Amino acid sequence: MSPWLDVVLNDDLHLPVSRSIVTIPRFAPQETALEKIENLLEGIIDAISEGRELTIPFRTTRSPQAQQGDEPNCDLVRFPGRTIQEARRFEALFRIIELSHEALLSGNIITKRNIFYQNVDLFKSQGVVDDLVDNLAYTLGLGREDLNIVAAAKGLISGPVDLILRGGDVVHCNLPPGGILLPHIASVEKVDFHEAKWLLVVEKEATFKTLATSQYANNSFAGPGVIVTAKGFPDLATRRFLSVMHSARPHLRLYGLVDFDPHGIAIFRTYKSGSKRLAHEQDTTVPEMRWLGIRSSDVLSASRRDNLDISSGSDSQSSQDVSSQESVAYSHDGSQERHPSKRQKIRDSRDPVEFFLPLTDADRKKAVDLMNDIRSTDVVDGDNLEQLNELQRMLMLNVKAEIQAVDDFGNIASWLDERLCAL
């Protein structure tokens, strides 16, 4: 039976048998990474014993060949080398190899930030550590996490799911109400999805905080769900977490909510298809993710213009029309209870045009680069074609807009309900 479909009983935690609990399998065997790291160390030891120059093979993800999807030539980092800079580069790379070896032997996971702060004089900047770790993994044909080296936690999660860690602790993602930091996916042994029906990835931390604080994941008209953000451009840890979550629950609907601008579309495409620079990283994409918005039609829709006309023509209301809604609360056992919603539907009297901003030169360049990237794909499917059309509209109209363009004075819940229930 596939480990994704394995239904488990955790006796230690006294959890009842439930089809909502899914085991997260371990991925690349650590023996493979450990063997490759020890081969590097053995090569250095042999060179020392034979009096030869010390060398470490090294490829970079930023090379032109890597950017084009080809395997670049393998360079050598040497010691003592021809310059002081090369000797220092060897020392820095060797230190990372040494720390990875220790982490793999002990089973511990270390962060790139810790590596830097423990060796500030050696690395000089965090960026040096980031590049060396990524390039070492690329050279060995591994993912960064296979080295037991990860980035510091960045992503946030909120919703009625529980993450059961390998040490036995349980992370309740519903608490606190403002969301919690995503744990490293390698530390997660099981996930209890309860009744979650969807997972929404939002670009902006501010939007995430609004939804998490209001408990939208519990009160959505589309049923209970999960909300995640990487606070802007997605980091590798958040991307891998989403990929594993979807693999564990393939029928869980995944959506992306980003700004209507070239960078928003780039963020969505990174979640969905990955990035060229880290193309060697495995289990970091979610091809099934659907683009929820925002699109040009969301901020130029006839319905929003109608709202403007109705509001401006009313003598009894100056700017808002508030109506109560009836919502459905979903419990973990799947029962439903109807009750008056604390969430109010507010008719927005603002002109959508006021949310448009002109594209900058950098925006226009990003849009053109994205369009070229889409056209260079083997198959321009419906999703790619839609993104291409939206980018063309941005360029033709010279406009962009943020997610806040579709909220109702800070309340985006009604817009989300409409979109999620329609899909």
Strand-pair category, 198-202 with 225-229: parallel
CA distance 288 to 254: 7
Give whole-number Cα distances, 141 to 58, 94, 112, 150, in Å: 11, 18, 19, 16
Taking a C-beta distance cutoff of 8 angstroms, is the pair 262, 363 a contact?
yes
117 is an active site residue: yes
SS (H, E, C) 357-408: EECCHHHHHHHHHHHHHHHCCCCCCHHHHHHHHHHHHHHHHCEEECHHHHCE
Of the candidates 117, 138, 216, 271, the residue annotated as catalytic is: 117
DSSP state of 155: -
Beta bridge partners of 109: none
Q: Distance between CA atoms of 320 and 307, rounded to whole angstroms? A: 10
3-state secondary structure of 294: coil
| Nearest CA among 143, 146, 370, 387 for reference residue 279 | 143
Cβ-contact 240, 145 below 8 angstroms: yes
Rounded-to-integer distance, Cα 4 and Cα 231, Å = 28
**Hunting for tokens 């690329």 — which residue is that?**
138
Residue that has been written with the tokens 């309860």 in this structure = 194
Residues 93, 75: Cα–Cα separation, whole Å = 13
**Alpha-carbon span 408 to 244, nearest angstrom:** 34
Return the closest-CA partner of residue 293 out of 193, 198, 412: 412
Alpha carbon distance 393, 398 (integer Å): 8
For residue 316, the tally of other CB atoms under 10 A from its CB is: 5
Tell me how far apart the terminal alpha carbons of the chain are, to the nearest angstrom: 31
| 185/16 Cα distance (integer angstroms) | 23
Residue 316: φ, ψ to 5°? -85, -15
Active site residues: 117
